[in-house]
Structure 1
Amino acid sequence: MTDATSTPEAVVNAYAKGTATRDIALLKSLFHEDAVMTGYLGPDFLNGSPAPFYGALEANEVGSDYASETTSLVVTDKIASAVTEEKNLLGLNFTNHFHLAQLGDGTWRITSKLFRHA
């Protein structure tokens, strides 16, 4: 088990680090292979895999003033939910709701991310 996936908190913190540094390999290691991203980017409803998120990070610089704060984290046995507030990700602010699950090997992965930009 890697440190980045050892607890739900570690996964959420690694997500923020991977986003800030555009570390796509790290981000991919945090999401379950069947993870879903759903949400609103402006008026547009998006629903699918995290692939477009990875592509946006690969194509654009993340500013040094990017910040992410976890405002809620609830762990119930082998499932967890977390809420984060991101500031200035590619010029936008986001509220993210993550669902995480502990896999059979003891690691934690993001199974879904629900988001909106503010």
Structure 2
Amino acid sequence: MPDVTATPKDVIEAYIKGTATRDIALLKTIFHADAVMTGWLGPDLLHGGPEPFYGALEANEVGDDYSAGITALQVDDRIATASIEERNLLGMSFENHFQMIQLADGTWRLSAKLFRHF
């Protein structure tokens, strides 16, 4: 089984797969323990860790019409940024921007997610 934290692209693909399949265990392997998520969900500004995201996925089905794709990915030495667009996640669409960091062991983790729904 390939390591989903081997490259920044692997991490983002694991995020998409984990979201689509509601695989919370997979998602927890790609987020850094101190990761933050910040963004607008309607009129509400949310800021904190990824736990509310995990909870929303656990509590709700992700439909077959969910889709996501990488719109940008840049790697600069031991840091990376990526953007994806998600359609039909829990009845909403999202634009997500991620920051990633390479750990001392060479693996990558999401350190921050900035999002908006539209």
Give the shorter-chain TM-score range: over 0.9
Work out the number of aligned pairs and report it. 117
- How far residue 99 of structure 1 moved from its aligned partner, in angstroms, is 0.1
Q: Tell me which residue corresponds to 1:65.
A: 65
- Kindly provide the amino acid, as one letter, of the partner of residue 109 in structure 1: R
Q: Tell me which residue corresponds to 2:78.
A: 78
Alpha-carbon distance in structure 1 between the residues aligned to 2:83 and 2:72: 5
- After superposition, what is the alpha-carbon deviation per residue over 1:3-62, rounded to whole angstroms, capped at 9, x for unaligned? 200000000000000000000000000000000000000010000000000000000000
Alpha-carbon distance in structure 2 between the residues aligned to 1:83 and 1:43: 22
Cα-Cα RMSD: 0.6
Q: Tell me which residue corresponds to 1:8.
A: 8
- Kindly provide the amino acid, as one letter, of the partner of residue 11 in structure 1: V
| Residue 112 (structure 1) aligned with residue 112 (structure 2) | yes
Q: Tell me which residue corresponds to 2:88.
A: 88
Provide runs of 4+ in structure 1 moved above 4 Å.
Answer: none
Q: Tell me which residue corresponds to 1:17.
A: 17
Percent sequence identity is 66
| Residue 52 (structure 1) aligned with residue 52 (structure 2) | yes
- Kindly provide the amino acid, as one letter, of the partner of residue 49 in structure 1: G
| Residue 35 (structure 1) aligned with residue 35 (structure 2) | yes
- Kindly provide the amino acid, as one letter, of the partner of residue 77 in structure 2: D
Q: TM-score, normalised by structure 2?
A: 0.98
- How far residue 67 of structure 1 moved from its aligned partner, in angstroms, is 0.6
- How far residue 64 of structure 1 moved from its aligned partner, in angstroms, is 0.6
Alpha-carbon distance in structure 2 between the residues aligned to 1:13 and 1:66: 14
- After superposition, what is the alpha-carbon deviation per residue over 1:77-98, rounded to whole angstroms, capped at 9, x for unaligned? 0000000000000000000000
Alpha-carbon distance in structure 2 between the residues aligned to 1:113 and 1:55: 16
Unaligned runs of 5+ in 2: none
